[in-house]
Amino acid sequence: MNYKVTLAYDGSKFHGWAKQPNVVTVQQTISNALKKILKEEVNIIGAGRTDAYVHAISQVFSLKTKQNLINMNFKKAINDLLPKSIRIKSVKIVNDNFNAQHFALNKTYKYVINTASYDLFNNDYLYNYNKKINVSLLKKASKALLGKHDFLSFSTSELKDTIRIINSISFKKDKNLLIIRINGNGFLRNQVRMIVGSLLDINENKKDKNSLEVLLTNPKKGSCIRKAPGSGLYLEKINY
């Protein structure tokens, strides 16, 4: 049977989602727990990779096994084995052809920025920017990013196809926090963090408000340069 598993994790405890040698990752930690429960090696396919220290409120992976995970109360069993920094939220049986990565229609990331004084105890869960932000200016500048573009300038990806679609960008003030939400059909490596970094450059007058258009029309790998810290980034929702 094929299963769709939804989970959340605290990215500050991991070097990203994907398995890597000699470091602790979310995918490897889950794979280890699955092997103990199922007594077999299973391949888990994540909806997308998150970088080191990036969090997930609603990540998704799919897996296939002959065992009935629903009958064996799999959710409780695996949560008992996993560290408290990872929680399985739901487990559902899906069609055999479902693939968590390829079936995703769009994803929403949110980025959390602290504009007030340094917040020591939440440093792993936001960007301690500690400066005022001209939200109106960033709203106007960000409109250039909407739609279908080559986002190579906002990525360190090795992929050949770097064209993506951004459906919406929103800005919400919550006391001393600025929350930026970006929804798109898919994202390149570091794309959201580099977009946020570029917006903050505009806020600091290091770049012109039209600089985003220049980066889009002249795509060059990582040319926006500035990358906001992973601690402020959350994979918030995936739509199928």
C-alpha separations of 158 from 58, 146, 173, 188, 189 in Å:
26, 23, 35, 9, 9
CB atoms under 10 Å from CB of 210, counted, come to: 10
Q: Which of 51, 96, 119, 174 is catalytic?
A: 51
Region label for 213, one of left (φ > 0), alpha (ψ between -120 and 50) or beta (otherwise): alpha
C-alpha separations of 219 from 138, 141, 150, 153 in Å:
21, 18, 7, 5
150 annotated active-site? no
For residue 226 the two structure tokens come to: 């500035």
CB atoms under 10 Å from CB of 223, counted, come to: 14
Q: Which residues are catalytic?
A: 51
